[in-house]
Structure 1
Amino acid sequence: MIGLSSIDEQIAAMAARWPGLRARRVGDRAAVWRGPLRPLMKTYEVEILYRAPLVIERIDPMRMQPDVEVLSPRLRRMARSDEGKLPHVYWRDEGEPLLCLFDPEAGEWSPADLLADTTVPWTIDWLTCYEGWRATGEWTGGGRHPSPPSTEGATP
């Protein structure tokens, strides 16, 4: 059995490594961090929502993964790109997309991992790839992502 990182451990690690991301506790096992990240050219306001699972819960990386949303500036879509209008995101029914930061089937992340060591650096990497994609139309971050749902082409 893997050891799970508690929400207190997640909050402490984030405060130590990423003090610009302000934490707000949400109940006993969840927190939201909000703050700026600057990969290359722009500063992005991001929000990370995470709920630490109970040891008795079935660990499903797709369900347990942190939700990362770019609050501002809004992510922009491109009409013509081999990668789709906005690559490597999960589309929700409402609101902005969530970033796709890892391949859940490859075991790249688990609730034992600290967000400060995985999610935040991966978010910075995603934003770096996004800036490059906006400039060139090419996604350089690699990875694998399921085909975009039909709502992907909707105009915001």
Structure 2
Amino acid sequence: MRYSNSILNPKTVLVQAQAIRSRWPGFNVTVSSGRLKAIGSLQPTSRSSAYSIKVIYSLNQHPDIFVLDPKLKRNLNDEKIPHMYSQEKLCLYRPLYGEFKFSDLISETIIPWACLWLYHYEIWHLTGDWLGGGEHPNE
């Protein structure tokens, strides 16, 4: 029987925290009761707004990513923001397809993907089209 690398070699919360501190020194990273919380700023392009995001992660749980500031808004057509869970958490990858594995570093996947998501969010506001691909999560 073949096992997924994500089951055999998950990155611990402390390893994830250290990797975020190293790659994203502006992030405030805390670990408490086995749960990582990282808050920091991302700016998709030099013309973009700076966004404050929060990443929450516990071992072998999918990370939750929130945009704290500025508040995300519907576009001019009053459409729901694409690729979000319950209009609260960012949908960055497809869990069923194993695009993020627990052996992956959040600093190398989730945070850059959040920055790319924010870029596509800004384009969506300008064009009305989500150009980032992917699938919309079921509500």
Fold shared per TM-score above 0.5: yes
Count of matched residue positions in the alignment of Structure 1 and Structure 2: 131
Question: RMSD over aligned Cα, in angstroms?
Answer: 1.5
Over residues 35-79 of structure 1, what are the superposed CA-to-partner deviations in whole Å (9 max), with x where a residue is unaligned? Answer: 1111121000100000013xxxxxxxxxx2110000000000126
1:154 maps to none
Alignment identity in percent? Answer: 35
Question: Aligned to 1:101, which of 92, 112, 124?
Answer: 92
Structure 1 residue runs of 4 or more that deviate by more than 2 Å after TM superposition: 78-81
- Paired residue for 1:85, among 80, 87, 98? 80
Q: Deviations over 1:111-132 (max 9, x none)?
A: 1111001000100000000010
Structure 1: unaligned runs, 5 residues or longer = 54-63, 150-156
Aligned equivalents of 2:26 and 2:43: distance in 1? 11
- Kindly state the Cα deviation for residue 106 of structure 1 after the two structures are TM-superposed: 1.4
SS in 1 for 2:121: helix
Residue 53 of structure 2 is aligned with which of 46, 50, 53? 46
Using the size of structure 2 for normalisation, the TM-score is: 0.88
Q: Distance in 2 between matches of 1:31 and 1:4?
A: 14
Instruction: Look up the SS of the partner of 1:13 in the other structure.
Output: helix
Verify: 1:124 aligned to 2:115, yes or no.
yes
TM-score, normalising length: structure 1: 0.79
Given that 2:85 and 2:137 are in contact with CA atoms closer than 8 Å, whether structure 1 keeps it comes out as no
Could you tell me which runs of 5 or more consecutive residues in structure 2 were left unpaired when the two chains were aligned. none
